[in-house]
Amino acid sequence: MVAKQIQRELSDMLLTDKVLQYAILPEASLGADRYLSSLTTISDVEVSTDLQELKGSSNAALLVGETP
């Protein structure tokens, strides 16, 4: 239950936090064209029984399109 909530929170942060977005796709902060994008998902989160440690996994894909 806690792991799923943390997974949702991290996913939401990827959508809304500009610092995280620029860390995943630094070209965006440099004014990359609109056809360059990144798809990142939080695939798994594990929390220790005492809630002191967290291990998360993510997947990322870079999508590149041609400019018209």
Which tens digits make up the pLDDT trace of 1-60?
899 999 999 888 888 888 887 777 777 667 665 556 677 888 899 999 999 999 999 888
Q: Residue 5's pLDDT is what?
A: 92
Predicted model pTM: 0.67
Q: Residue 35's pLDDT is what?
A: 53
Q: Residue 4's pLDDT is what?
A: 92
The answer to whether 10 and 41 have CB atoms below 8 angstroms apart is no
- Burial (CB count within 10 angstroms: exposed 0-12, middle 13-18, buried 19+), residue 45: buried
